[in-house]
Copies of this chain bind each other. A is one copy, B any other.
Amino acid sequence: MESRIERICVEKGLKMTGQRRVIARVLSEAIDHPDVEELYRRAAALDRRISIATVYRTVRLLEERGILERRDFGGGRARYEPTEHGRHYHLIDIDTGRVIEFEDREQERLMEQIAARLGFEPVSTRLEIYGRRRGTRAAPRPAAQDEETQAAEGLPR
């Protein structure tokens, strides 16, 4: 069956190989913000004949085509999510690495206004709040290695 991202790829005239189909499916089903390593892990679980180089090449291609957006929440690895034209932003819990998404029309309006004032046309925007859960003492981070990948699971979208 054709995944949402695969459909978009086809519409944009991309050549769909088996590997790309699998990666597109993984991306379509992701509710978090996986990094390339994680995408590779999920894709390889569905089809072993996928190399990490292909994942890198594919996300780069899809980003160039505007299908994906690259995010960087710190931690050295790029993370990806499907482009959504109703924009949403991120709040990152600095103690756990958990990422919470939110929307805000007001922010969006303000950003457009600011860009216009400076003579620019906004193409994409980033708004991130790094914060601590209310009433939490400044705490040592719990996990470490894949804290950001793992912590972002099962979040409301």
Binding site for B on A (CB under 8 A): 70, 72, 74, 91, 93-94, 100, 102, 104, 106-107, 110-111, 114-116, 118-134
Contacts and interface: CB of A to CB of B under 8 A. Distances in A.
Main secondary structure of the interface of A (DSSP, over half): strand
A120 B107 contact: no
A130 B134 contact: no
B134 A120 contact: yes
Copies per assembly: 2
Contacts of A134: 116, 119-121
Given A104-B114, A107-B111, A121-B134, 7 more contacts: A91-B120, A94-B123, A106-B110, A120-B129, A125-B129, A126-B126, A126-B130
A115 B94 CA distance: 13
A29 to B, nearest CB: 25
26 contacts: A70-B74, A72-B72, A91-B120, A94-B123, A100-B118, A102-B118, A104-B110, A106-B110, A107-B107, A107-B114, A110-B110, A111-B127, A114-B129, A115-B131, A119-B133, A120-B129, A120-B132, A120-B133, A121-B131, A122-B130, A123-B130, A123-B131, A125-B127, A125-B129, A127-B127, A127-B128
